[in-house]
A and B are shown apart, each in its own frame.
Chain A
Amino acid sequence: MPASDGIEPLRGSGLDGTDAQRIYRYMLLARAISEKSWLLTRQGRVLFTMPCDGQEAADVASAYALDRGNDFIVPYARSLGAMLVKGMTTQEVMLNMFGKAADPNSGGRQMPMHWGYKKLGIISMGSSVATTIPRAAGVALASKLRKQNAVTMVYFGEGSASEGDFHEGLAFAGVHRLPVVFFCNNNGWATSVPVNLQSAEPQVAKRAQGYGFPGVTIDGLDPLTVYQAVKAAVDLARSGEGPTLVEAMTIRMMPHSSSDDHLRYRTQEELDAERKLDPLPRFRDFLISANLLNEESDQTMSDSVDQEVEDAIELADAAPSPDPDSAMDRVYAP
């Protein structure tokens, strides 16, 4: 790997060294929040979480390919990295984790990691997976009708690709050549059900062919690869050429959620082997080899991320809970 001065495009990805360093910091931050949230659930201070460990490269680098001030994200519960890139602060994430009144996602009405932030163009999600997929097509349809020049990216897992709404959303977006990117995080597991029990054809990207637009399967553990593929899909969408289904092959290093025990259906050996694929040390090694990071700057970055998370936890923990008298409010729009 040739050394880089930090501004040359990296491996033809269209990203320069500064971008790569930013992506790395977002990945570190997502991991730190995910790990810390897990600990908080074990301590009983937070009631629920959905770890994203192993998916940071896919989430962060895909969102990095968007026009973040203009484009839309329709997230799913493991989209933490994308939320950070889209502009949600660590403190806002922690307000969400603690279910506090000032949580911009729902004011404490939804479980943690159920994102939605109008100001940032993050469309609200519930727990009913894949309902988001036609919704994303609808957001993109409105962009087309309103000539917004915006792209909508919807995130989901490979399990969601079994839902009818996946197929209905892709069909509609294909017919109308909508500016939408379908981003499938294929970590191989829908809670405890492996991908080979979802479909006899486990490669999700192939399904795009059935709806008349491209589908690509990529290494979701390498941020440069993810960025490159998603940027191409985003550019295609923005130019009016329609949707792309991007399937990022990732790993799920942690259980499905804080309520799940993955040792009921996976072996420790398998998990240990998968942990060797962790995208974080892999990208760190790359950055070091490209002279974009060294032991010292890595430590400094890591420390600042940890401090940011600690500060956010302290503030969120102390923030006021929602007023019980407000529990009946806003059932209907005025």
Chain B
Amino acid sequence: MRLIEAVREGLREEMAADPGVFLIGQDIGINGGVFRVTDGLLEEFGPGRVIDSPLAESGMVGVAIGAALNGMRPVVEIQFADFIFPAFNQLVSEAARMHYRTNGEFPVPMVIRAPYGGGVRGGLYHSQSVEAYFAHVPGLKVVVPSSPYDAKGLLKAAIRDDNPVLFFEHKLAYNTVRGEVPDGDYTVPIGEAVVRREGRNLTLISYGLSVHHCLEAAETLAAEGISCEVVDLRTVSPLDTRAFLESVRKTGRACIVHEDNLTGGVGAEVAAIIAKDAFEYLDAPVQRVAAPDVPSFPYSPTLEDALLPGPPDIVRVARELAAY
């Protein structure tokens, strides 16, 4: 099953199981979403539960918060992660703080789904990774699945979670990443990382589509005698620190990989945790492979390709680490 189908299955099953679950977003109704994630759901569940919103991200998220406070479990689709910023205030000032500021009286069970990432020639406004902005905010959870199995299981867990969860789906992964997805109900717990490949010499820590780049790089490196462990964070907030610390304590070397730009990214936080809690196990400095600090990916293929981090970048840095 493709990743896009896994997301759709997750939505469909949760909507069928819980009448409180409804969708709101732009073009998600008759058009099925610009990526077709919600294709067929309007016909199946009707316009009361698949709501085409006005072109107003802040209002849309504000409406979802209100509905969540009155017994519903809204799932918002932001058309591209790049367009989430008008809703930043609603997410950060309101959704994230509601439970804390009401001393636990008002939880906000809400999911914000958004396609993220580059490599589709989408230019500066259809290519961004925005997870770090939200991973910084206490009260929000941030999930970035890498496989169809996780996409469905994590989405179902997110919908059932009583907290606001941001759920970022790599748009290039929608139709290129395939995997086994069992029939029927299951969830993947939020906040648990998984080891995708076991190894001895160094640990690659990643999430989302970049996990596949790490696995590809690990294959190349294995042929050179460098054994890589690949840890898929799956949730970037709250981080499963135990999982990557355990791996780094074993391998003694760590490289964090993400498509988001370098400065202030999730990699910086993971590196700081490793520096504090696995310092004595390290045989080399912690490294990061990320997009350089430019304002998102430019349109022209020659420009975008010059900046997109990929398997060759990981291989190069991993070789340096292994030789250190």
| Extra inter-chain contacts (11) besides given A117-B105, A135-B63, A165-B90, CB under 8 Å | A116-B101, A118-B106, A131-B93, A134-B59, A138-B64, A138-B65, A143-B70, A145-B48, A165-B59, A172-B54, A333-B104
* Cβ contact of B62, chosen from A104, A140, A168, A333, cutoff 8 A: A168
In the assembled complex, which residues on chain A have CB atoms less than 8 Å from the CB atom of B71?
142, 146
Q: Once the chains bind, are B102 and A118 in contact (CB under 8 Å)?
A: yes
Cα distance A168–B138 in the bound complex, in angstroms:
26
Q: Are A137 and B62 also in contact (CB < 8 A) when A118-B105, A126-B101, A172-B53 are?
A: yes
Q: Are A138 and B70 also in contact (CB < 8 A) when A116-B105, A126-B94, A172-B59 are?
A: yes
In the assembled complex, which residues on chain A have CB atoms less than 8 Å from the CB atom of B103?
106-107, 109, 330
Against B, the Cβ 8 Å flags (1 = close, 0 = not) of A69-89 are 000101000000000000000
Q: Once the chains bind, are A172 and B56 in contact (CB under 8 Å)?
A: yes
Q: Are A146 and B70 also in contact (CB < 8 A) when A107-B103, A118-B106, A332-B139 are?
A: yes
Q: Once the chains bind, are B106 and A124 in contact (CB under 8 Å)?
A: yes
In the assembled complex, which residues on chain B have CB atoms less than 8 Å from the CB atom of A334?
162
**Which B residues, 58 to 85, have Cβ-Cβ distances below 8 Å to chain A?**
58-72, 74
Against B, the Cβ 8 Å flags (1 = close, 0 = not) of A106-118 are 1101100010111
Task: Report the 8 A-B pairs with minimum CB-CB distance, sorted nearest first.
Answer: A138-B66, A168-B59, A134-B62, A107-B103, A142-B70, A333-B107, A333-B162, A138-B63
Cα distance A165–B54 in the bound complex, in angstroms:
12
- Closest-by-CB residue of B relative to A329 is B104
Cα distance A329–B104 in the bound complex, in angstroms:
9
A57 within 8 A of B: no
In the assembled complex, which residues on chain A have CB atoms less than 8 Å from the CB atom of B99?
330-333
Q: B167: shortest Cβ distance to chain A, in Å?
A: 16
Q: Once the chains bind, are B94 and A145 in contact (CB under 8 Å)?
A: no
In the assembled complex, which residues on chain A have CB atoms less than 8 Å from the CB atom of B60?
134, 168, 172
In the assembled complex, which residues on chain B have CB atoms less than 8 Å from the CB atom of A268?
none
With most chain B CB atoms within 10 A of its CB, the pick from A134, A137, A331 is A134
In which size bucket is the chain A interface?
A: 35 or more
- Closest-by-CB residue of A relative to B96 is A331
A123 within 8 A of B: yes
B264 within 8 A of A: no
In which size bucket is the chain B interface?
A: 35 or more
Interface set of B (CB-CB < 8 Å, partner A):
22, 48-49, 51, 53-54, 56, 58-72, 74, 86, 89-90, 93-94, 97-109, 138-139, 141, 161-163
* Cβ contact of B63, chosen from A106, A134, A331, cutoff 8 A: A134
Q: Once the chains bind, are B94 and A131 in contact (CB under 8 Å)?
A: yes
In the assembled complex, which residues on chain A have CB atoms less than 8 Å from the CB atom of B109?
333
In the assembled complex, which residues on chain B have CB atoms less than 8 Å from the CB atom of A146?
70-72
Q: Once the chains bind, are A141 and B58 in contact (CB under 8 Å)?
A: no
In the assembled complex, which residues on chain A have CB atoms less than 8 Å from the CB atom of B108?
333
Against B, the Cβ 8 Å flags (1 = close, 0 = not) of A210-234 are 0000000000000000000000000
Cα distance A140–B64 in the bound complex, in angstroms:
11
Cα distance A106–B51 in the bound complex, in angstroms:
33
A169 within 8 A of B: yes
Q: B99: shortest Cβ distance to chain A, in Å?
A: 5
Q: Are A164 and B66 also in contact (CB < 8 A) when A116-B106, A332-B99 are?
A: no
Cα distance A66–B64 in the bound complex, in angstroms:
24
- Closest-by-CB residue of A relative to B106 is A124
Q: A45: shortest Cβ distance to chain B, in Å?
A: 22
Cα distance A171–B52 in the bound complex, in angstroms:
13
With most chain A CB atoms within 10 A of its CB, the pick from B64, B70, B74, B94 is B70
* Cβ contact of B58, chosen from A136, A145, A165, cutoff 8 A: A165
With most chain B CB atoms within 10 A of its CB, the pick from A123, A168, A331 is A168
In the assembled complex, which residues on chain A have CB atoms less than 8 Å from the CB atom of B101?
106, 109-110, 114, 116, 124, 126
Cα distance A167–B68 in the bound complex, in angstroms:
21
List 19 A-B pairs, Cβ < 8 Å. Answer: A106-B102, A109-B101, A109-B102, A109-B103, A116-B102, A126-B101, A128-B94, A138-B68, A138-B70, A145-B22, A146-B71, A165-B58, A168-B54, A172-B63, A175-B54, A331-B138, A333-B107, A333-B109, A333-B163
Q: Once the chains bind, are B162 and A169 in contact (CB under 8 Å)?
A: no
* Cβ contact of B69, chosen from A123, A176, A333, cutoff 8 A: A123
Cα distance A139–B102 in the bound complex, in angstroms:
17
Q: B148: shortest Cβ distance to chain A, in Å?
A: 27
Cα distance A118–B290 in the bound complex, in angstroms:
44
A58 within 8 A of B: no
Cα distance A98–B225 in the bound complex, in angstroms:
66
Q: Once the chains bind, are B138 and A135 in contact (CB under 8 Å)?
A: no
Against B, the Cβ 8 Å flags (1 = close, 0 = not) of A306-334 are 00000000000000000000000111111
- Closest-by-CB residue of A relative to B109 is A333
With most chain B CB atoms within 10 A of its CB, the pick from A104, A107, A146, A165 is A165
Q: Once the chains bind, are A135 and B58 in contact (CB under 8 Å)?
A: no
Q: A56: shortest Cβ distance to chain B, in Å?
A: 26
Against B, the Cβ 8 Å flags (1 = close, 0 = not) of A35-48 are 00000000000000
A133 within 8 A of B: yes
Q: Once the chains bind, are B102 and A169 in contact (CB under 8 Å)?
A: no
Q: A162: shortest Cβ distance to chain B, in Å?
A: 14
Cα distance A72–B22 in the bound complex, in angstroms:
21
Q: Are A126 and B93 also in contact (CB < 8 A) when A135-B69, A333-B104, A334-B162 are?
A: yes
Cα distance A169–B56 in the bound complex, in angstroms:
9
- Closest-by-CB residue of B relative to A108 is B103
